[in-house]
Protein backbone atom coordinates (compact mmCIF):
# COMPACT_ATOMS: atom_id res chain seq x y z
CA UNK A 1 0.00 0.00 0.00
CA UNK A 2 1.09 3.55 -0.60
CA UNK A 3 2.80 5.08 -3.61
CA UNK A 4 5.15 2.91 -5.65
CA UNK A 5 7.03 3.11 -8.93
CA UNK A 6 7.51 0.27 -11.38
CA UNK A 7 9.35 1.25 -14.54
CA UNK A 8 7.68 4.46 -15.66
CA UNK A 9 4.39 3.73 -13.87
CA UNK A 10 3.50 5.38 -10.56
CA UNK A 11 0.78 3.62 -8.55
CA UNK A 12 -1.25 4.70 -5.55
CA UNK A 13 -2.87 1.88 -3.61
CA UNK A 14 -4.92 1.95 -0.43
CA UNK A 15 -7.20 -0.82 0.78
CA UNK A 16 -9.01 -2.01 -2.38
CA UNK A 17 -8.41 1.13 -4.43
CA UNK A 18 -5.66 1.55 -7.00
CA UNK A 19 -4.81 4.14 -9.63
CA UNK A 20 -1.78 4.41 -11.93
CA UNK A 21 -0.13 7.25 -13.81
CA UNK A 22 2.54 6.81 -16.49
CA UNK A 23 5.48 9.14 -16.91
CA UNK A 24 5.11 8.90 -20.68
CA UNK A 25 1.69 10.55 -20.46
CA UNK A 26 2.04 12.79 -17.39
CA UNK A 27 5.80 13.40 -17.24
CA UNK A 28 7.19 14.46 -13.87
CA UNK A 29 3.63 15.04 -12.66
CA UNK A 30 2.92 11.29 -12.54
CA UNK A 31 4.51 10.99 -9.09
CA UNK A 32 2.65 14.03 -7.77
CA UNK A 33 -0.66 12.72 -9.12
CA UNK A 34 -0.11 9.32 -7.50
CA UNK A 35 0.76 10.99 -4.19
CA UNK A 36 -2.35 13.20 -4.32
CA UNK A 37 -4.53 10.18 -5.15
CA UNK A 38 -3.06 8.23 -2.23
CA UNK A 39 -3.75 11.10 0.18
CA UNK A 40 -7.34 11.27 -1.09
CA UNK A 41 -7.68 7.51 -0.66
CA UNK A 42 -6.50 7.75 2.94
CA UNK A 43 -8.93 10.60 3.62
CA UNK A 44 -11.79 8.70 1.98
CA UNK A 45 -12.32 11.40 -0.67
CA UNK A 46 -10.84 9.61 -3.69
CA UNK A 47 -13.35 9.28 -6.53
CA UNK A 48 -12.21 7.13 -9.46
CA UNK A 49 -14.93 8.48 -11.76
CA UNK A 50 -13.77 12.07 -11.24
CA UNK A 51 -10.16 11.10 -11.97
CA UNK A 52 -11.18 9.23 -15.13
CA UNK A 53 -13.27 12.18 -16.27
CA UNK A 54 -10.39 14.63 -15.70
CA UNK A 55 -8.09 12.45 -17.78
CA UNK A 56 -10.62 12.07 -20.61
CA UNK A 57 -11.68 15.71 -20.77
CA UNK A 58 -9.48 17.94 -22.85
CA UNK A 59 -9.69 21.62 -23.58
CA UNK A 60 -8.60 23.95 -26.36
CA UNK A 61 -5.86 26.45 -25.65
CA UNK A 62 -8.44 29.24 -25.69
CA UNK A 63 -10.52 27.45 -23.02
CA UNK A 64 -7.45 26.74 -20.87
CA UNK A 65 -6.34 30.36 -21.15
CA UNK A 66 -9.75 31.58 -20.00
CA UNK A 67 -9.77 29.18 -17.05
CA UNK A 68 -6.26 30.23 -16.01
CA UNK A 69 -6.80 33.94 -16.57
CA UNK A 70 -4.25 34.09 -19.40
CA UNK A 71 -4.55 35.09 -23.02
CA UNK A 72 -3.96 32.38 -25.60
CA UNK A 73 -0.67 34.07 -26.51
CA UNK A 74 0.46 34.12 -22.86
CA UNK A 75 -0.43 30.43 -22.56
CA UNK A 76 1.47 29.55 -25.75
CA UNK A 77 4.48 31.55 -24.55
CA UNK A 78 4.36 29.64 -21.24
CA UNK A 79 4.14 26.27 -23.01
CA UNK A 80 6.99 27.10 -25.40
CA UNK A 81 9.40 28.79 -22.96
CA UNK A 82 8.41 27.53 -19.51
CA UNK A 83 8.08 31.14 -18.34
CA UNK A 84 4.98 32.93 -17.15
CA UNK A 85 4.82 36.28 -15.34
CA UNK A 86 8.61 36.47 -15.53
CA UNK A 87 9.05 33.23 -13.58
CA UNK A 88 10.11 29.72 -14.55
CA UNK A 89 7.01 27.59 -13.96
CA UNK A 90 6.36 24.10 -15.32
CA UNK A 91 3.89 24.54 -18.18
CA UNK A 92 0.94 22.26 -18.88
CA UNK A 93 1.69 19.46 -21.33
CA UNK A 94 -0.37 18.81 -24.42
CA UNK A 95 -2.67 15.79 -24.28
CA UNK A 96 -0.99 13.31 -26.61
CA UNK A 97 -3.59 10.55 -26.40
CA UNK A 98 -5.80 9.56 -29.31
CA UNK A 99 -4.08 11.91 -31.75
CA UNK A 100 -5.30 15.03 -29.96
CA UNK A 101 -3.69 18.22 -31.27
CA UNK A 102 -3.02 21.31 -29.15
CA UNK A 103 -5.40 20.38 -26.36
CA UNK A 104 -4.76 20.01 -22.63
CA UNK A 105 -6.47 17.41 -20.47
CA UNK A 106 -8.21 18.14 -17.19
CA UNK A 107 -5.41 16.72 -15.04
CA UNK A 108 -2.80 18.98 -16.67
CA UNK A 109 -5.19 21.91 -16.35
CA UNK A 110 -5.59 21.26 -12.61
CA UNK A 111 -1.83 20.99 -12.09
CA UNK A 112 -1.18 24.11 -14.19
CA UNK A 113 -3.70 26.05 -12.12
CA UNK A 114 -1.99 24.99 -8.88
CA UNK A 115 1.45 25.99 -10.22
CA UNK A 116 0.15 29.28 -11.63
CA UNK A 117 -1.60 30.16 -8.34
CA UNK A 118 1.67 29.49 -6.50
CA UNK A 119 3.58 31.73 -8.95
CA UNK A 120 1.01 34.50 -8.52
CA UNK A 121 1.39 34.32 -4.72
CA UNK A 122 5.17 34.62 -5.04
CA UNK A 123 4.80 37.59 -7.39
CA UNK A 124 2.40 39.34 -5.00
CA UNK A 125 4.70 38.81 -2.00
The full set of domain ranges for the chain reads: 2-46, 58-124
What are the tens digits of pLDDT across the range 85-123? Answer: 999 999 999 887 777 778 999 999 999 999 999 999 988
CATH T-level fold of 58-124: Multidrug-efflux Transporter Regulator; Chain: A; Domain 2 (1.10.1660)
91, 84 contact by CB (below 8 A): yes
This prediction's pTM: 0.78
Q: Where are the alpha helices (DSSP H) in the chain?
A: 23-26, 29-43, 48-56, 61-68, 72-81, 106-124
What's the pLDDT score for residue 27? 85
38, 14 contact by CB (below 8 A): yes
- 114: Cα separation from own chain's centroid: 9
What's the pLDDT score for residue 104? 93
* Cβ neighbours, 10 Å, residue 96: 12
Amino acid sequence: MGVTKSGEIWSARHQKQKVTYSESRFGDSAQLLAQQAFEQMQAGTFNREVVDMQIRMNYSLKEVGLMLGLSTNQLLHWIMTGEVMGQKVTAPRYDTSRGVKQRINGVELQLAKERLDQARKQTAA
